[in-house]
Amino acid sequence: MRYASICAVLGLVMGLSVPGTGLQAQQLPEKRAGSTASSVPSKPSPVTLTRDILFQVLVGEFSLQRGYFDEAAQVFIELAERTRDPRLAKRGFQAAMASRDMMLARRGAQIWSELDPKDSEAVASALALAATDGQTSGLTKALRQRLREADDKEQAVIHAYGIVAQLQDQQAAREILESVLRGSVRELAVSQMALSDAAWETSDAKAALAYAQAALKADATSEAAAQRILEYGFEVDPAVALAETKKWLGQHPDARKAHLMYISRLVQRKAYEEALAHLAQMRERSPEDFDLLYTEAEVHVHAENFDEARSLLNEYIAVQTQRRASLDDRQTNALADAAEAHLLLVRIAEQQGHYDEAIAELDRINEPSLQFQVALHKAVVLGEQGKLTDAQETLAALEPDNDRQKAVIAMTQASVYRKAGRTDDAVILLEDANKALPDTPEIKYDLAMLYERQGRSDKSEFLLREVIDIEPDNAHAYNALGYTFADQNRRLDEAEELLEIALELDPDNPYILDSVGWYFYRVADYDTALEYLYRSFEKMPSAEVGAHLGEVLWVRRSKKEAEGIWRKALEIDADNETLQETLRRFGVDLQ
């Protein structure tokens, strides 16, 4: 099958990012040191703690611990109304959000903001939730008033952006921000960056870039603006964005985050030599910045210069060992940094198929907080070696602290069985886990994928619908069910509905793009199918997507191009079942 796996262990043990090189969800600049906040939360009035109130608080907390968020929300919000304590209102609001009860959440946020009107988080929550009901005029008016009255305009802009960013309708959020940030306030660099981020959230990269450039013009020293120019400009024209950023970096050698982000984009473009040269300049300027050793090592990993990467990582580990020798572990993050380097060494060993070396590196990790993940990873590596008994013993030795860890252990064991071809054993294990942990959507999803592998589509469909009931925003479940119907060429109307939801929830996911393309192939809309399949193959050049793309090209009589795609797919994974079945079906021999 070609579904995305949501087994939690994969996120824990696979892949590492270069520290500080990626731009995560952009955050507006933080408040400058030394300035005074425009609003300070007031202290809640003291509440007489009667037996009844104490009992109700305990009931609410117990409900939270059991996962009964709706019951907890009701208890805390009613208590807040009785006691007029904003802390209880906040607790109720948070529980209501966890239960996805928007009506109750609005009630909790409204009470919270009424009881503590100086708490910006309370006001922001109330205004944003009101706006989800279309009450944007009130939100716009309130934000304008806050901006007019604020002594610190920059902080007020940050607050305004934080409020509108909570809206689900990103286009509405952008329009509100455009309307609110007017006059002299709009000329502030922070305002231009807020507008830049809002434009980016509506997939308008050109506008996002233009606003970012305006922000840098307003404040030529702004590293945050320079980062946005690179991030958003990279979507518009990567070469221009890199050139513009390189020029700015030459004038700002100490803007470390921007330099690292520039390197990460060079790596993304596979410009490894240029990335390494830029890193060398950084190391020359900052010889005591030992984290650059790790960054350089990962660039070498991307370039598959594994010997160089190993040498740098061992040097980095030696530095962290020296730090630990001179400082107490409570005073330094050296232990965690060394663990990260060992994990990258594990990754190198796995890429080269040196599994004993990978296990040896895992055994060298002493970071206490990583021991659970290390054991999971070790079991996976042992499974790759075919040492199923050792893998099982490694997992059996774990003592899970909670249901979540129990679920991850079960899914890891099932994954080991599945990769070893023991699908039936994996199914039995996950069936038992599903009975023991019936509210765990990840277990249901993985079990559904195994049922589909066994040809038990009815059971798979039932479980996927259960996942959707538990997690209505689970894009993977909608995608898996929609793809199943499209692949089996049945219930195509429902497949369309499911895949539309999946695409709306996660529009750039290559698995979903592949499924949508396959659906359009089934309904004979070949041009649209190719559009989605090409996008998917560009983002995720897998054998299965290549099989689908090649089939559509073949049916359209572009056989030469189809064979070219299939050859690329064979280079990726010559044993892929879908690819081999496709070639057999069309009688194509590319060996």
CATH number at residue 435: 1.25.40.10
Whether the per-residue pLDDT at 60 is higher than 70: the answer is yes
What's the confidence (pLDDT) of residue 313? 97
What's the confidence (pLDDT) of residue 133? 59
What's the confidence (pLDDT) of residue 113? 83
Instruction: Of 58-62, 123-127, 474-478, give the lowest mean pLDDT range.
Output: 123-127
What's the confidence (pLDDT) of residue 163? 76
Whether residue 463 lies inside any domain: the answer is yes
Arithmetic mean of pLDDT, 13-40: 34
Q: Is 320 exposed, middle or buried (0-12, 13-18, 19+ CB in 10 A)?
A: buried
Whole-angstrom Cα distance, residue 545 to residue 576? 11
What's the confidence (pLDDT) of residue 439? 93
Arithmetic mean of pLDDT, 235-241: 96
Whether the per-residue pLDDT at 154 is higher than 60: the answer is yes
Whether residue 443 lies inside any domain: the answer is yes
Arithmetic mean of pLDDT, 113-119: 83
Whether residue 502 lies inside any domain: the answer is no
Whether the per-residue pLDDT at 140 is higher than 90: the answer is no
What's the confidence (pLDDT) of residue 43? 45
What's the confidence (pLDDT) of residue 120? 65
Whether the per-residue pLDDT at 52 is higher than 80: the answer is no
Percentage of the chain beyond pLDDT 70 is 88
Per the CB < 8 A criterion, the answer to whether 319 and 310 are in contact is: no
What's the confidence (pLDDT) of residue 68? 84
Whether the per-residue pLDDT at 508 is higher than 60: the answer is yes
Whether residue 450 lies inside any domain: the answer is yes
User: Which domain does 434 fall in, by range?
Assistant: 400-467
- The tens digit of pLDDT for each residue in 160-175 reads 887 788 777 889 889 9
CB-based contacts of 352, cutoff 8 Å, min separation 6? 306
Both tokens of 110, joined, read 């409204």
- Report the amino acid identity of residue 92: G
- The tens digit of pLDDT for each residue in 227-236 reads 999 999 999 9
Arithmetic mean of pLDDT, 250-258: 95
Both tokens of 355, joined, read 């599994």
Whether residue 325 lies inside any domain: the answer is no
Arithmetic mean of pLDDT, 113-142: 72
Return the DSSP state at 61: H
Whether the per-residue pLDDT at 26 is higher than 60: the answer is no
Whole-angstrom Cα distance, residue 234 to residue 220? 20
Instruction: Of 164-178, 325-339, 559-573, give the lowest mean pLDDT range.
Output: 325-339
What's the confidence (pLDDT) of residue 1? 39
Whole-angstrom Cα distance, residue 56 to residue 53? 5
Whole-angstrom Cα distance, residue 19 to residue 291? 8
Whether residue 278 lies inside any domain: the answer is no
Closest CA to 180 of 194, 196, 169, 168: 194
Whether the per-residue pLDDT at 94 is higher than 90: the answer is no
Per the CB < 8 A criterion, the answer to whether 513 and 538 are in contact is: no
Whole-angstrom Cα distance, residue 138 to residue 148? 15
Confidence of residue 266 (pLDDT cuts 50, 70, 90): very high
Return the DSSP state at 402: S
What's the confidence (pLDDT) of residue 123? 72
- The tens digit of pLDDT for each residue in 539-551 reads 999 999 999 999 9
- What is the chain's length? 591
Whether the per-residue pLDDT at 226 is higher than 80: the answer is yes
Per the CB < 8 A criterion, the answer to whether 446 and 414 are in contact is: yes
Arithmetic mean of pLDDT, 319-335: 81
What pTM was estimated for this model as a whole? 0.73
- End-to-end, the C-alpha distance of the chain in Å comes to 24
Strands (E), 348-505: none
Mean pLDDT, the chain, whole residue set: 87
Whether the per-residue pLDDT at 465 is higher than 90: the answer is yes
Confidence of residue 21 (pLDDT cuts 50, 70, 90): very low
Confidence of residue 324 (pLDDT cuts 50, 70, 90): confident
By 3-state DSSP, what share of the chain in percent is helix, strand and coil, each rounded to 5? 75, 0, 25
Whether the per-residue pLDDT at 11 is higher than 90: the answer is no
Q: 261 or 110: which carries more pLDDT confidence?
A: 261
- The tens digit of pLDDT for each residue in 437-456 reads 999 999 999 999 999 999 99
Whole-angstrom Cα distance, residue 220 to residue 32? 17
Whether residue 215 lies inside any domain: the answer is no
What's the confidence (pLDDT) of residue 213? 97
Distances (CA, A) of 166 to 92, 124, 128: 18, 9, 6
3-state secondary structure 284-304: HHCCCCCHHHHHHHHHHHHCC
Domain count, the chain: 1
3-state secondary structure 130-169: HHCCCCHHHHHHHHHHHHHHCCCHHHHHHHHHHHHCCCCC
Whole-angstrom Cα distance, residue 173 to residue 164? 5
Q: 148 or 538: which carries more pLDDT confidence?
A: 538
Whether the per-residue pLDDT at 369 is higher than 50: the answer is yes
Closest CA to 130 of 84, 196, 176, 193: 176
Whole-angstrom Cα distance, residue 321 to residue 19? 19
Whether residue 59 lies inside any domain: the answer is no
What's the confidence (pLDDT) of residue 143? 82
